[in-house]
Amino acid sequence: MHSNLWIFIWRRKLSFLLVVSGLVLLGLWTWAILIDTTAAAQPSAALSSSERQQQQQSTGYQQVHIIQKLIEQANRVLRAERLKDNAVEKSPSPVQRLGNVRFLRPTQAKKAPLPMSESFLFEQERLKILEQQQRQRNAGMEELNANAEDERMLSSAERQTQYEHELQRMGVPVVAGIGPHGPRAPTERLVHLDLKGAPPKLSFLKQLLPVLRALGATGLLIEYEDMFPYSGVLQPLAAHNAYKEDELRDFLECAALHGLSVMPLVQTFGHMEYVLKLSGFEQLRELAESPQSICPSQPQSTALLEQMLTQVIELHLQCLGQATPASAVPVAPIRFTHIHIGCDEVQRMGECTTCRQRLRSELFLSHVVSIAHFIRRQWPQLAVVIWDDQLRSMSLSELQHSQVGSYVEPMVWVYASDIYRYIQPQLWDTYAKVFPSAWTASAFKGAFGESLLVPPLQHHLENNIRWLAVIAKEGGRFSKGLRGLALTGWQRYDHFAVLCELLPVGIPSLMTSLSTVSKGYFSTNPRDNELLRVLQCVFQPDSRRSGRPWLELHPNAHHSQLFAVCNYPGHLVFKYALRLYEKLAEIGLYLQQTRDQSAWLSDYNVRHNFSSPLRVRELTGRVPMLIEELRAMAREAQQLLWEVYDEYTVTEFVEQHIYPTIEALQRQLARAEMLLQRRTWPQRPLPLPLKVKEDMGLVTYQQQ
């Protein structure tokens, strides 16, 4: 009886296993439901909705994981049993013999296939679990899509707030109203090339033209000064390293091929040092001791200015009037529509005996109208532009009476962040009543220090962004609107000044401001900002883990680390200037500490030849190494700058920025050598040197 029962159980073992597994699964499901019900019944007022949702999801994931493990284990048991049964069926049945009687082991009946409901039980459960996981993933995607839709449904004010927050993270100045949905960009975006006294090689400027065009520049404002190839009686005005006429023609044609207009700038009142400093022209000065401004009351002055303008205008008309070669790619029509005649910062005006008889405003306006009338009469297609600073103090009646608005267009320039401090709304209203249209001018270098090495990028960018807001606000005052913005980059503050930031060093500032002005706002999206693509910058996109934006500007820094990994014309000079700036700052701090703060190498120690030899050697031990480092950097400057400038500009740069520091270090060594030569020292108190006593006007107690 028992043997028959065990045989029955053995033959139906798979069915019993399925029943047991089903009971186990039923118990697990019941246990999961009870736990879920108990957790839901507990007070959850302290939990937020997001926390409760996360808790429920984590509990569900735990249950699903346990069930998956059990199903996998049951499937492995079933597969093992099936393989064992197959092996038994294939093996021959063993036969036992006892005499003539043969005993056979009971044969197992052939197993029928499992019913469909039993064989696919676990597969169906697995599919249900997968479907549940897919529904959870779909719910997450729907939530993300809903968030994106919410962002699209944000109001313009909310999007502007997000944009300004991103600007603050990057250190980019925030100006109200300027953003992706703000006013349009200026129609014309001119890049100023100041060539006086430090002319870049035209081959370098040619490499720069496609970059300027790609970032949105529409034209060039070229200030030649003594770099123009004057000829004839004006030949002395050209510097010895002035451009050759054929080289200049080739450059102007190249600018035309890139679709850039050209506006020449010829000073005709102030900043005439390059002319009036020369022998044979000194009689045209307003004051004999100053070659800064020309006397407008002398007929020879007008004749000289007309000859200068004629040579400059004719050369540009000939170059830009040539047809584009047939092999070249068709470009936009060539434009030479304006000429700039300067007239800014006219110092000591109206001080000669003849000019004193007239008002300063009348003297200035009559001279400007006379020069502009000559240009309009000779070349009617050209409009005349002047700087506006001399007009700011004049009244509306004086401007209207002179009819200057019919002859010139003012270019309003401010390089500071607070533009309305210099150009008040009342002055904008006055200009709009006199001039049908006007220009504006910002700066990308040469505006925050006469001898800076690296331009403060953040200050220049803020100046340009604030100009965008001013143009949008004040442009409607003029009947023909504001024509555009010129980004100036001064190379010297005047003809006699030393170099300020070199053009290659100012390229990151120029490109950042130019791309912003051309777009009408600063784009915070690295994939939407043309700056990275054009300058070929290698950058790391913004990471949520680090929280660092792709561009970081700081008030006390002159640059962003981004531009140290870019590849653009002049990038090696920019990186060199950064290293030189840091080295000069390091040496300057050392000299200040040893000379002004040290107790053994101060001026007092040197005057009295009284100091500790050990301390002196300790303080001057690094000086020879620092001198050698600067000499190596001077040789490196010669190699790098030779690609951009001629030998005269290179030597001037080295002499201006490196040689003074080498001199200071050599003086430091000489002072130390003098102190080290002494072997005995006098008793205290030390007497006051006679020269110090005389210079300070002191008397001794004996004299009293």
Q: What is the DSSP string of 70-139?
A: HHHHHHHHHHHHHHHHHHHHHSPPPEEEETTEEEEPPPPPPPPPPPHHHHTHHHHHHHHHHHHHHHHHHH
Alpha carbon 549 to its chain centroid, in Å, reads 13
**For 119-156, what is each residue's pLDDT tens digit?**
444 556 666 666 766 666 565 555 545 545 555 555 66
Measured CA to CA, the distance from residue 391 to residue 673 in angstroms comes to 59
Q: What share of the chain is helix, strand, coil (3-state, %, to 5)?
A: 55, 10, 35
User: Strand, coil or helix: what is 574?
Assistant: helix
State residue 116's pLDDT score: 44
Both tokens assigned to 266: 């010829």
DSSP secondary-structure letter at 474? H
Measured CA to CA, the distance from residue 212 to residue 619 in angstroms comes to 49
The amino acid sitting at 334 is: I
Q: For residues 108 and 88, is the Cβ–Cβ distance under 8 A?
A: yes
Residue closest to 211 by CA, chosen among 487, 505, 514, 454: 514
The amino acid sitting at 500 is: C
Measured CA to CA, the distance from residue 630 to residue 580 in angstroms comes to 9
Q: For residues 212 and 260, is the Cβ–Cβ distance under 8 A?
A: yes
DSSP secondary-structure letter at 200? B
pTM over 0.85: no
Please state the length of the chain. 704
Both tokens assigned to 335: 């434009």
Q: At what angle do helices 623-641 and 647-657 cross, to 10 degrees?
A: 160
Measured CA to CA, the distance from residue 294 to residue 308 in angstroms comes to 14
Q: For residues 320 and 310, is the Cβ–Cβ distance under 8 A?
A: no
List the catalytic residue out of 247, 345, 629, 643: 345
CB count within 10 Å of CB 49 equals: 8
Measured CA to CA, the distance from residue 125 to residue 205 in angstroms comes to 73
Both tokens assigned to 564: 């140290």
Measured CA to CA, the distance from residue 437 to residue 408 in angstroms comes to 9
State residue 330's pLDDT score: 39
The CA–CA distances, whole Å, from 1 to 6, 15, 35, 685 equal 9, 21, 45, 130
Phi, psi of 339 (to 5 degrees): -130, 135
Both tokens assigned to 71: 């199903």
Positions in the chain whose pLDDT score sits under 50: 43-58, 88, 90-121, 144, 147, 322-333, 542-545
Q: How do beta strands 290-294 and 188-194 pair?
A: unpaired
State residue 456's pLDDT score: 92
Residue 694: active-site member:
no
Measured CA to CA, the distance from residue 459 to residue 173 in angstroms comes to 9
State residue 700's pLDDT score: 64
